[in-house]
Amino acid sequence: MARTESTMLPLGTIAPDFYLKDTNSNNTFSFEDLKGSKGTLVMFICNHCPFVHHVIKEVVMIANDYRVQGIGVIAISSNDVIKYPEDSPELMADFAMENKIDFPYLYDETQEIAKAYQAACTPDFYLFDNQDRLFYRGQLDDSRPGNGIPLSGSDLRGAIDALIYNRNLKEPQKPSLGCGIKWK
């Protein structure tokens, strides 16, 4: 299990736009189509990564808790499906169904979007404000597979709360840690 950290895109960066196919609905969406009125959470995940498997239930709970508060939620998979067929779009739809992911799970076939976001690992989280500026990037919480720390989503939940309620954000922001993006 390779351990790769987030690259920590500079805060204030404007959200790179995209036009990607959603494996849940077969529709194609842009960032503008999916952003929330108060902010937007973009995450890079994949089907096979043990770090994603470790956090996916908490990620779905966060999505369910905050979408009703005006946060758009978007998941993107950018892995090379030739070398990693378990991350294919067809299996992304199955993974979404199995894990009750009812927000868009987009397929970045060219990997251009992962590069635009400087995504490095799965999971990798980016929270943008209502002006599409990067407000938070980094980890869900300190829990990792096998480290014994309970999953809480505390870092990401704290960032979303700070965004929604106009509070100061906890510093420093810690990078996420997970499997490296599987580049072509």
Task: Output Rg (C-alpha) for the chain, integer angstroms.
Answer: 15
74 pLDDT more than 70: yes
Percent of the chain with pLDDT over 90: 96
Which tens digits make up the pLDDT trace of 107-116?
Answer: 999 999 999 9
Query: At 143, phi and psi to the nearest 5?
Result: -75, 135
Question: Are the C-beta atoms of residues 79 and 46 closer than 8 Å to each other?
Answer: yes
**pTM, rounded to two decimals:** 0.97
Q: What pLDDT, on the 0 to 100 scale, is given for residue 172?
A: 86
* Torsion angle of C-alpha atoms 61, 63, 67, 69, degrees rounded to 10: 60
Residue 141 predicted with pLDDT over 90: yes
Residue-wise pLDDT for 5-57, tens only, equals 999 999 999 999 999 999 999 999 999 999 999 999 999 999 999 999 999 99
How many whole angstroms separate alpha carbon 179 and alpha carbon 167?
32
pLDDT confidence bin for 102, thresholds 50/70/90: very high
